[in-house]
Amino acid sequence: MSISLSVNVNKIATLRNARGGNLPNLIKAVKKIESFGADGITVHPRPDERHIRYADVYDLKKVLTTELNIEGNPKVPQFVDLVLAVCPHQVTLVPDSPNQLTSNHGWNMQAEVSYLTQITQLFQNHGIRVSVFIDPIVAHIPVAKKIGINRVELYTEQYAKQFEYDPKKAIEPYIATALLAKDMNIDINAGHDLNLDNLTFFAKSIPFVKEVSIGHALIADALYMGLEKTINCYKDCL
């Protein structure tokens, strides 16, 4: 089976918000993205609503025909309220601060066992699949098993940075972490800085990954190639 592609549409909302109004139309763009073959849509609303607005998430849930993945920090009460109200297919827990430009690290799993267990159970009780954003550290996996999460999302920025110099070395910690997760019956997602240059190698190295979430690079490539061709190219990599 191929790996699922969830398209993060934050950057489309960023472009819309730059001028106010509704151009580009987020809903129209998402419908096109789905029709071109995306397996899901990812959004990461932040408290300042600088890209995806909370209202957008409600609007998207009404029209999506694929999976909805909502990313964010559950320590923000407004985020928890949103997720429980919308009930997406998946929530991805990310430990980013409110003013953070973009996510840049995973959870300190050992330090957050109690909290992550509590919030995971809350979302699962509402029928929501829970994924937790982690760095590729093998020791995190037994903790994830203890917490009872459904998936881990491997934070792939370091892989992307090292890939151009030494792909085999770059992928090593990801393979090790993913193999243990598989052995412990935890499914695997991945995301951050994956692109057309490094995605095929990643997918071939860890073919049992369930889903990758890609936004910035994909939307940037679409400026040159158009959304349909770009999505097809990413799907081909998977």
Active site residues: 44, 71, 192
- The residue assigned the tokens 């600088």 is 50
Contact 79, 98 (CB under 8 A): no
